[in-house]
Structure 1
């Protein structure tokens, strides 16, 4: 009986060992794929078909709609609309965004009809027929392609004024300082440099603190950074010389106004656009 019991115990132990081994071999294999696998590996990012095309921008790490808009002379609200974005705070690295307004839709008309755009013009301009210069008339008669219109720089010109009084402590440097730094005291008035519309007022752009961006026309933006108080709201129309903020040191090492002028999104030296001070 003991001998049989001994062999029975050995058999039972052997069965347990085999069972344990069998269970071990049934465990799921470790998934060695990276947890940060890009979604682009399985599904193209929004706008990928427009990569490299004029009027489009590929999102880089750290980008925000505010910065993309300012760098391209557009408003973040326009970018949201042009790209049908549901959440302006959710853009992905590699995503391709439209940064230029869509081309106006051309409405085909039947012979003898007047397009709505022309029909809605004031009577004086709708019925007027401007005289064509002789050279242009000759070109048109010959079927030549008319020359491309010269950019209407005079129409886009802006009469800028200094946004505050104070000592200039840092000038424009395309690589290091994209505008002018003007010293002052906390609470000093910050004035709109020209007529325009506020397209951003907030603290969502790193390095600028409490920031106001004003769009003056399709060419020029101005930016006013490091304020302690913002006195205007987005989409508000403002006038040249209007107090829009109070000087401060938000996201800065001292009280100052950082002032930028951007031409088609590119920073330019404000000193070349401002009157002698």
Structure 2
């Protein structure tokens, strides 16, 4: 008798000591820092990628539901997608996909048996309409984007003749990995909370920083912007807020005790947006992330000198 082997991929977890994946907020940052046929219910195939950080977790499935196999990226990723489904592209987040198809992140996560962190992976096929419902053709044709992806470039017909050759422009992957110091000097963001940094960016895969404080102390907006996510749809982050800043940046604030803003609100830099809560480990802290065009960046070089 042949034995069936189920392979689980590591994704986001529920332990804050690991690392806080997508919305891109979001659920959010939101982003995220959380503006996106009737077929048998089968979990979507999983391919390794990254989004909002959280510690590794073994994905579980509901009783009687067989996980879909892990598949490599390749020609299959460009195969036609049936109505009601969407194939994850680079830069996508659960929040962004849900927003595109006008669904709740928690529903999309449930339909696809995603991990609690809400991680989605490049090439993964997701159900974006309720089981048994058909999706409008126009919706399935859209490309789900996280809140802060850059504005698409103009087509060749729209570009002026004096534009530089395309070869002079960095590839998307290079642009995402480029340092942000040139466009966001130190002091661009203010500290979102008073306290010591107890976990730095990059530690065990951490995509942000953890600031220790006291339960109920103010959590402030690091910069002026618009709230694009405020909720607790992703349990790994607790109550979380994602704020969008212009066309490039978003910030995410997780583990809050109480949210003081709602989606669509405009906030000023330094405005109190939440009360600090505790992470899964029970320590009062704020998990803070900064995203540039969907990619996580170290918040420390962007924060003012007066920390905590």
Q: TM-score range by the shorter chain?
A: 0.5 to 0.7
Residues 247-258 of structure 1 mapped to structure 2, 5 A cutoff:
247-249=276-278, 251-258=280-287
Residues 1-277 of structure 1 mapped to structure 2, 5 A cutoff:
36=65, 49=80, 57=88, 72=91, 76=95, 78-80=96-98, 82=100, 84=101, 88=105, 89-90=107-108, 91-92=111-112, 94-95=124-125, 98-100=143-145, 136=162, 145=165, 148=168, 157=184, 159-173=188-202, 175-249=204-278, 251-277=280-306
Structure 1 counterpart SS, 2:230 = strand
The answer to which structure has the higher helix fraction is 1
Structure with bigger gyration radius: 1
Give deviations 1:166-185, integer Å, cap 9, x for gaps: 12222112543221111111
Q: How far apart are residue 56 of structure 1 and its match?
A: 5.6
Q: How far apart are the structure 2 equivalents of 1:213 and 1:257?
A: 13
Structure 1 counterpart SS, 2:237 = coil
TM-score (norm 2): 0.49
CA contact (8 A) 1:174 1:267 kept: no
Q: How far apart are the structure 1 equivalents of 2:293 and 2:184?
A: 12
TM-score (norm 1): 0.54
Tell me which residue corresponds to 2:133. none
Tell me which residue corresponds to 2:26. none
Q: How far apart are the structure 1 equivalents of 2:91 and 2:203?
A: 16
Q: How far apart are the structure 2 equivalents of 1:210 and 1:271?
A: 23
Give deviations 1:138-162, integer Å, cap 9, x for gaps: x9xxxxx5765678x7996482111
Indicate the RMSD between aligned Cα atoms, in angstroms.
4.4
Give deviations 1:37-90, integer Å, cap 9, x for gaps: 7899xxxxxx95269xxx9616xxxxxxxxxxxx937682x53453x3556513
Q: How far apart are the structure 2 equivalents of 1:86 and 1:227?
A: 24
Q: Which moved more, 1:257-266 or 1:222-231?
A: 257-266
